[in-house]
Structure 1
């Protein structure tokens, strides 16, 4: 996370362990009721939304046995880490993630099947899928519910050493950056390891190591599966993020029974804002080895049995209350200040508190390849010919980049740009103008960012246009 005092920020470091290294399993354990538990192999339909809730995403993984996932919903994360990101997914896990059907496929009975495999040379492969969407968050004053019905790999004891199945979410600014964890927030709805009849829920945030969220452990809790073990059958894992209360809460439950709650007032306001004032994307994966299994005995080793699948019956996202409205269309005035944090979509950035005049938030962690989208910017019939943006930079000497304006598509040529390097600090603000081609009518505006270096090079507070 950036130092907002105006001093140069600490250089990027490899992303540390994202998982909770909980030393005591039993202290937070609550006996979950059997409500919601189903037979070991039954596949259920996505449940209808309860009264007052609206379904915003769902996948029930129906399809022919051996087929791949619906790529309009999901993308495969492959290899040993994100391009340009830390090795071994930043967690120390040892498998190579693939899109091969042996690792990730539908089972033909309404389930997703993620299966770790080991080849004759002892190399592990597995699967990891992520939602294409990165906008899952509760509406202002409302709630978001994310749940899945899952059977973790049915393997226990020595044969389960190193298994690490998980259902979790990462803050949208992580996608395309991969170095801003844990500030951008992580919500682990279900983690399991070593074949134990215990599941964990954790929020990661703040700075690492230590910091307000006790990283790399995070703010975590655990419970046991009752009625049948976590491995023996399906259970329903849910995160409910509630913005309708005076103190925002994120609640985690097993089979309808809440067992862990994280509250906004457990950390400082800036930490909470950086971790939650944006959308999230959903991840399903089975890792092998890494920091979390290491905390419970390590693995995998020669006695670990490959081939045990995590089965996922469905994933569902619901929204409630808050007066959700569609993205703006034609109601942004090009000639008034457009706040950077009011974007409709983005890649690679985060929001943070600003000390600039007027306070509020700015967009930060901006580096080469990042972008912001602002829908429905109205220019009228009198052409706009200039663009100005309020920017700050604490970039190191020699690090600079371009702030570019594009219309209607990120692939269109820029209509104007300006270069920016260090302004003396990440909260040392300056208004920089640039000439643009004549623009009339209503357009979606994209701010795109280009640099010859991978380092973050600019913060943006607001921008506007003029004649």
Structure 2
């Protein structure tokens, strides 16, 4: 699926870092307790009445064989993060690749992740995670992460070892890889060995044991009204911060099947997993490991396991409702178009523009790639009675050698003389973000701010994530 091109305003581990020793020690426990803890007291659909704003999505509408967008996703390769636990901390055995045979669009609106076995018996598959790691419930609001997926269409002995998953990990995990489970993990959907059910699980606190019963987590199962193995089903996770205390909810096809309340956890555990910058989303198809081995009662995959089955993903979407309307932990502003104002000295999300040049690309919470002649407008930016010293924009560029351009700031008209600018060329790739400052001349009061993009070359030269002024 290609990047989403329609601007939508944002106004109005699965078990990953388990230590290898703990993985092997916990197999029997997972088999007996597992993640199949049915939540018989699940409430009705609490979030249905809320008004949701789409803040990020990928619809996977690319051509057959095309890799997923590197503006939206990054590939996890091999058997581990650099410096992290072996076999992703789960005991799984497949090497993850960015080979289109393992991960690519199918040409019919889906991402296809396929597990393959070579002639020597070695397995390969794929695992991707969002570039963004700031998906978070806005203060006083709710975050929702939703995907529509089809499980690998294989069952019985042929399915032994298959472990598809759709999940989210706390952002502090990136670059550390040993702080799980305290940073939080929300397993939105897991399935093993081709079974008819799917699991929703929370991992938190400490391991082993702790308030989330690690290495098992606090989980429940669903059969999606019959069988989760039958066709596409929608899986959704909500983090609700709108009430007196927080709540986490899991849904399958709109039906609530698992709830964890903030009051059920120690205060410091809840704070540790919710007070950081946010979460990144993962999609992967593992082969073997503690969970499928524990359920089967022996090591998987086996000689009977059939290679070539795929997890299909129709879409992944992230929404917020209420609160600030933004899923980040950074200062936010009231987006334009709603009669509000923006603080010039707080972060302005690039995608919250009020006007733009035609067909402006919007993808992964950023705008771009952009080139000569593109522009965006942000209404009612309040500078106050003193002028800013400069401005800073978070940009990325994968432009070819020799291609560069200017990001310019203009006031009240996109044809007005720029009050500030900076030049940008290749930063190391379209997802290699850099905070770049630029001087600005005096401006006070409240104005519409235009960012214009100017280059002597016709090629795109920059993507923009956010910007703010400094004083």
| 2:301 matches 1:300 | yes
- The Cα RMSD (Å) is 3.8
Rounded to whole Å, the distance in 1 between the matches of 2:107 and 2:133 is 28
Rounded to whole Å, the distance in 1 between the matches of 2:442 and 2:210 is 48
Q: Which residue, out of 225, 228, 231, partners 1:230? A: 228
1:35-184 equivalent positions in 2, closer than 5 A: 52-184=51-183
What TM-score comes out, normalization by structure 2 length?
0.63
Q: Deviations over 1:191-218 (max 9, x none)?
A: 0001110110111011111112111111
Query: How has the CA–CA distance of structure 1 residues 190 and 27 changed in structure 2, closer, same or farther, with 3 Å as cutoff?
Result: closer
Number of residues of Structure 1 aligned to a counterpart in Structure 2 = 330
Query: How has the CA–CA distance of structure 1 residues 226 and 270 changed in structure 2, closer, same or farther, with 3 Å as cutoff?
Result: same
Q: Residue 323 of structure 1: CA displacement?
A: 2.8
Q: Residue 166 of structure 1: CA displacement?
A: 0.2
Rounded to whole Å, the distance in 1 between the matches of 2:113 and 2:434 is 35
The 8 Å contact of residues 237 and 251 in structure 2, kept in 1 or not, is answered as yes
In structure 2, runs of 5+ residues without a counterpart are 1-16, 334-342, 350-383, 390-423, 428-432, 444-471
In structure 1, runs of 5+ residues without a counterpart are 1-11, 36-48, 333-341, 345-377, 384-407, 414-439, 443-467
Secondary structure of the corresponding residue to residue 221 of structure 2: strand
Q: Residue 381 of structure 1: CA displacement?
A: 9.6
1:265-414 equivalent positions in 2, closer than 5 A: 265-277=263-275, 278-297=277-296, 298-324=299-325, 327=332, 331=345
For residue 251 of structure 1, what is the aligned residue in structure 2?
249
For residue 30 of structure 2, what is the aligned residue in structure 1?
21
Q: Residue 152 of structure 1: CA displacement?
A: 0.6
Q: Deviations over 1:92-122 (max 9, x none)?
A: 1111000000100100000000000000111
Q: Deviations over 1:212-241 (max 9, x none)?
A: 2111111111121334x3222001100011
Query: How has the CA–CA distance of structure 1 residues 95 and 322 changed in structure 2, closer, same or farther, with 3 Å as cutoff?
Result: same
The 8 Å contact of residues 18 and 89 in structure 2, kept in 1 or not, is answered as no
What TM-score comes out, normalization by structure 1 length?
0.63
Q: Deviations over 1:235-285 (max 9, x none)?
A: 110001101121210000111110100111111111111111130000000
Q: Residue 14 of structure 1: CA displacement?
A: 4.1
Rounded to whole Å, the distance in 2 between the matches of 1:283 and 1:13 is 16
The 8 Å contact of residues 249 and 262 in structure 1, kept in 2 or not, is answered as yes
